[in-house]
Each structure stands twice: as structure tokens, then as C-alpha cells.
Amino acid sequence: MGGYIVRRLWQMIPTMLGVVLLVFVLFNWVGGDPAYVLAGKISSHEQIENIRRQLGIDQPYYVQLGIFLKQIVTANFGSSWSTNEKVSHILLTRLGPSLTVLVPLLILGTLISIGLALAVAYVRGSLTDRMVMIVCTVGLSISILVYIIVFQYVFAYKLGWFPVQGWGDSFWQNLVVYASLPILIALAVSIAPDLRLYRTFVLDEINQDYVRTARAKGVSENRVIWVHVLRNASIPIITYLMSGLPGLLLGSFLIERFFSIPGIGREVILAVERSDFPVIKAITVYVAFATIFTNLLADLTYKAVDPRVQLK
């Protein structure tokens, strides 16, 4: 086990370097001279030269890459180009609001999807099952934008049950007042695909021999479903959940944008709109690193929930 973890950590290094290289090539080479972006349209030659010296892009590429690596290791990406706020400060302060929406969403969404998936798979092939699947397919086809626009209009603007948008200072106020409609919308959007997927996971297990054995020896139906089937179906579900975690941080960017929640996702959109390269670079690199680490965690959890798995 220990050897396995060490080997996996060792294997991560080339991937992480690749991510750094990709981001570097993208922003320092493909994107052209950042000095022009930063200096704006009206700028003199000296100004451009000054900015180039400040950013270090008058240096050869390998020196620039060294600077970039140093920035990543020390978590010091300098200041945002548009607000002059420290990039590290931006990341830390935006994490809280994102998590305020994400954690309840993740818990509620997982519980509801698994519960529904078990129920639907239990009555597989019936009219209910087919109806739920049709609703899921159609629901998935409607753009998430339409859901957000319509829900925000109806529940916040017309009916006034929730504030249209905003964010406060106290955690509880944020969670109860401002985050509840965004969470509800995100739930409505995320349950359909999760339910479809989890249903296939449950269906893979529900026809197995051990289920028939359990029934044959007189185990109650509740125990068969909630203990025998769920425990085995949870293996792929957990892996799926884990691997999607870092993406979730950004996945709610539309929600954050519509409801003016100052989270990471909204920050990415703002940064792209303003060509704020340091912020995009920092978020891209760190989210990619987080993904690489959670992939390892996912494999370890896989081992933990399923003792049959051999880690190689």
C-alpha cells in the first residue's frame, strides 16, 4: 500500500509538469505578447518595454518557465491585472462562497440520486422506470441556461420567494437566504444525469447471483436493497463522485454568475472577460493539480470500499 502510494506520487510528477508546460505554452506563446494585453490599446513603446521587463517576458523562454514554476511552488502569482488584488488572496476568499453552495449540493444531490436510482432500478422495466428515464432524457436536453433563467425569473423575480441575487457576510445568511435557490436549481439540473448513471450501476448489481442467494436464504427485501446491492453499487458511484469533485468547483460557474455569488467559477468568467491572465493561470494549474490528486484518492477509496481490488 505504502509502496503503491509512493509510486503513484512519483508518476504524478511528469503529468504535473505537463500541465505547467501546457499552461505556459498557452499563455506565453499562443496568446502572443501579454504586454499588449496588459498595456491596453493606447500605449507607447517605452510603456510596453517597461511592462515586458516587469513580467519578465523580455527573458528567454526557459527563464520565463523558471519564473512560472517558482510562482506555482510559492503560490505567489503576483497581482491581478485588472483589480491589483493578490491572486492568492483572490483564490482563498472565493473558495468559501463556492463551497457554501457546493457542499450542500453534493450531499443532497448524492443522497437523492442514489435513493431514486435504487427505487427506479428496483422496478426496472416498469412504466414508472421508463417514465422516469424519459423525463431524465428530456430534462437533460434543455439547456442549463434555460433552467437558470426561468427559475430565477419565476421564483425570485415573480414570486419573490428568494432574493434575485446577492451575497452577504454571515455564513448562515448566505446558506439559508442566498444559496438556497442556486442549490435548488443546481439540484434540478444535476439529478437527471446522475440518476441515469447510478441506475446502470445498480442494475449491474441487482441481477447478480449474490442477490438471488440473499433472497433465497430469506433476507428481507429492504436489507437486500439497502445493504447487499447498495454496498456493491456504491463502489463505482464513489469513484465517479471523487473524480468529479474538482470539476464541480467550476461546474457551478453559471449559477455563481447568475446569482452574483463571489466564488471561484464566477472569478474564472470575470478573468476571461478581462483577459486577467495571472488569475486564469493560477486557477487552471491548481485545479488540474487537485484533479490529479483526487484521482489518486479515488483509487485509494476504491480499494477501501472494495477489498477485491488489487492495486498495481
Contact positions vs other proteins (CB under 8 A): 14-15, 18-19, 21-23, 26-27, 30-32, 37, 133, 137-138, 140-146, 149-150, 153, 157, 193, 196-197, 199-200, 203, 246-247, 250-251, 253-254, 257, 268-269, 271-273, 275, 277, 280, 283-284, 287-288, 291-292, 295
Q: How far is the CB of 53 from other proteins (least distance, A)?
A: 22
Instruction: Find the shortest distance in angstroms from Cβ 4 to other proteins.
Output: 18
Cβ atoms within 10 Å of 32's Cβ, excluding its own = 10
Smaller CB separation from other proteins, 109 or 174:
109
Taking residue 142's Cβ as centre, other Cβ atoms within 10 Å add up to 12
The letter for the amino acid at 98 is: S
CB of 186 to other proteins, least distance (A): 15
**Nearest CB to other proteins, comparing residues 164 and 230:** 164
Looking at the Cβ atoms of 48 and 175, the one nearer to other proteins is 48
Closest to other proteins by CB, 101 vs 268, is: 268
Grid cell listed for 87 = 491572486
d(CA 248, CA 290) in angstroms, rounded, equals 12
Q: Is residue 300 within 8 Å of 4, Cβ to Cβ?
A: no
What's the grid cell of residue 2?
A: 505504502
Residues 6+ away with beta carbon under 8 Å from 36: 43, 48
* Distance in Å, CB of 96 to other proteins, minimum: 20
The least distance separating other proteins from the CB of residue 33, rounded to whole angstroms, comes to 11
CB of 101 to other proteins, least distance (A): 17
Give the whole-angstrom CA distance, residue 212 versus residue 217.
9
- C-alpha cell of 179? 444559496
List, in order, residues 6 or more apart from 139 with CB less than 8 Å away.
Answer: 192
User: Alpha-carbon distance 104 to 28, whole Å?
Assistant: 39
Instruction: Between 257 and 303, name the residue whose CB sits nearer to other proteins.
Output: 257
3-class SS at 78? coil
Contact between residue 264 and residue 249 where contact means Cβ atoms under 8 Å apart: yes
In total, the chain counts a number of residues equal to: 312
Find the shortest distance in angstroms from Cβ 166 to other proteins: 17
Phi and psi of 33, rounded to 5°? -75, 115
- If the CB atoms of residues 4 and 147 are measured against other proteins, the closer one turns out to be 147
